Amino acid sequence: MKTRVEVADDDLFGPRNLPYGVFAPEGAGFRVGVRIGEYAIDLAAALEDPVFAEPNLNAFMAQGPRRWREVRNRIRELIDAELPTAAVHLLHDVRTKLPVQIGDYVDFYASIDHATNLGKLFRPDAEPLLPNWRYLPVGYHGRAGTVVVSGTEIVRPRGQRRTASGTPDFGPSQRLDIEAELGFLVGIGSELGTPIDIDEFAEHVFGVALVNDWSARDIQAWEYQPLGPFLGKSFATSLSAWVTPLAALEAARIPLPRQVPEPLPYLRGSQSWGFDIDLAVRWNGQTVAHPPYARMYWSPAQMLAHLTANGAATRTGDLYASGTISGPASDQRGSFIELSWGGADPVMVNGLHRTFLEDGDEVVITASAPGPNSHRIGLAEVRGRIWHARPAP
């Protein structure tokens, strides 16, 4: 039997988008699928290709850009015609999981507005940007094993926090925060000792997904000097269940803001890899921020070139994220430490003055971007709810 999938012309997840994910119908195992409207299409059944019977996207991503284009074109042909009925499932009838087996995870700090805001908060009597910031995409290595799929409950982390006396105690974070980010997934890796050229970005990166890099600001503030983020960041990073292929974002590509001083030669590319993507952050159902990705100072191509500049290898499934996306306006800040200005200027959420996350709070990050023919496409949400800290061992 055959089925025709119908979606509204203005659906953010129509045939111009087609993000990939991994899902399981009731009573069946996980397999690779593509989302269209409110449906998940089983690609193993639709395309009769065993690579899509895998429980993650890695095997498909490792096939490279030519294969990615072929599959995307074939999916669009099938959707324009008819699909096997057994391949079509309603989204609300399936379970999703982390779409990729994550290799390594790197988080950057690529927003000049976010970096400036934090500089003003942490170093009010000094230049907000540190001397290296305009010369390279600053980043740190995160913990791949705690990247979780959207919808996973987040346990409030415990750690050392500085007290008023200047010495630490140990307990649940009291300044738990979010970071609204865009993640990039490596499809084709690179060999140890071989940097990726900035203009080879699209030959290596498969697609993008929304990220929430949860942050325990009080733990981070005590521990991060002199080596940077550790327990304040490593407890959880949420990733969307659906990955938007780079091809779907072609109409959203824009030039980067002017970079001063001009980057060093290995960070200069001949292609524009800025993206006009608009995010929205909802806190307990109320939209509190609209971070604009178009304002990002460093591009994902520059991030990847810098990540591998020392010869570091990459692998299929590696994830790197942009860092917090913020804009110059107060309602464009992609973290609660910025929105509440370090807690000094609380945000009104459903009639309550709020600064950082409390148990039971839910945060949902969504995004959309220009698509072909003046339509818009959506990036699948990343969602998480805070759960109380587990008792200390």
Give the CATH number for residue 29. Answer: 2.30.30.230
Q: What is the DSSP letter of 196?
A: P
89, 92, 114, 353: the active-site residue: 114
392 assigned to some structural domain: no
Check whether residue 214 and residue 352 sit in a common domain: yes
393 assigned to some structural domain: no
Where among 96, 131, 154 does a domain terminate? 96
**CA 202 centroid distance within chain:** 17
Check whether residue 92 and residue 149 sit in a common domain: no
For 99, phi then psi, to 5°, come to -75, -20
Q: What is the DSSP letter of 246?
A: G
Percent pLDDT > 70 in the chain is 99
Which CATH number covers residue 277?
Answer: 3.90.850.10
Rounded distance between C-alpha atoms, residue 214 and residue 376, angstroms: 28
Check whether residue 236 and residue 91 sit in a common domain: no
Q: Is 341 left (phi over 0), alpha (psi -120 to 50) or beta?
A: left
Mean pLDDT of 5-33: 95
Rounded distance between C-alpha atoms, residue 212 and residue 271, angstroms: 28
Where among 44, 75, 96 does a domain terminate? 96
122 assigned to some structural domain: yes
Neighbours of 348 (CB within 10 A): 10
333 assigned to some structural domain: yes
**CA 338 centroid distance within chain:** 19
Tell me the pLDDT band of 192, cut-offs 50, 70 and 90: very high
pLDDT digits over 231-253, tens only?
999 999 999 999 999 999 999 99
Check whether residue 295 and residue 366 sit in a common domain: yes
Check whether residue 166 and residue 299 sit in a common domain: yes
Mean pLDDT of 44-52: 96
Which residue type occupies 54? Answer: E
Question: How high is the pLDDT of residue 373?
Answer: 87
212 assigned to some structural domain: yes
Kindly tell me if the per-residue pLDDT of 82 is higher than 90.
no
**378 with 367: CB under 8 angstroms?**
yes
Kindly tell me if the per-residue pLDDT of 391 is higher than 90.
no
127 assigned to some structural domain: yes
Check whether residue 56 and residue 86 sit in a common domain: yes
217 assigned to some structural domain: yes
Check whether residue 120 and residue 187 sit in a common domain: yes
Alpha helices per DSSP H over the chain: 43-47, 58-61, 65-80, 112-122, 201-204, 217-223, 231-234, 300-307, 336-339
pLDDT digits over 254-290, tens only?
999 999 999 999 999 999 999 999 999 999 999 999 9
242 assigned to some structural domain: yes
Asked if 114 is an active-site residue, the reply is yes
Say whether 331 sits in a helix, a strand or coil: helix
Check whether residue 88 and residue 116 sit in a common domain: no
Neighbours of 320 (CB within 10 A): 25
Tell me the pLDDT band of 390, cut-offs 50, 70 and 90: confident
Kindly tell me if the per-residue pLDDT of 370 is higher than 80.
yes
pLDDT digits over 303-349, tens only?
999 999 999 999 999 999 999 999 999 999 999 999 999 999 999 99
Q: How many domains does the chain have?
A: 2
Name residue 357's beta-bridge partners: none
Check whether residue 45 and residue 171 sit in a common domain: no
Check whether residue 37 and residue 118 sit in a common domain: no
Kindly tell me if the per-residue pLDDT of 215 is higher than 70.
yes
Domain that holds residue 7: 2-96
Where among 96, 125, 148 does a domain terminate? 96
Check whether residue 344 and residue 222 sit in a common domain: yes
Long-range Cβ contacts of 30-33 (<8 Å, 24+ apart): 30/55, 30/95, 30/97, 31/55, 32/56, 32/57, 32/60, 33/89
Query: Measuring CA to CA, how many Å separate 34 from each of 17, 113, 136, 317?
Result: 10, 35, 36, 18
Mean pLDDT of the chain: 96
Give which of 184, 36, 22 is closest to 100, Cα–Cα: 22
pLDDT digits over 98-127, tens only?
999 999 999 999 999 999 999 999 999 999
Rounded distance between C-alpha atoms, residue 45 and residue 30, angstroms: 13
Question: How high is the pLDDT of residue 275?
Answer: 98
Alpha helices per DSSP H over 128-216: 201-204
Check whether residue 88 and residue 157 sit in a common domain: no
Kindly tell me if the per-residue pLDDT of 393 is higher than 70.
no
Question: How high is the pLDDT of residue 374?
Answer: 85
Mean pLDDT of 368-377: 94
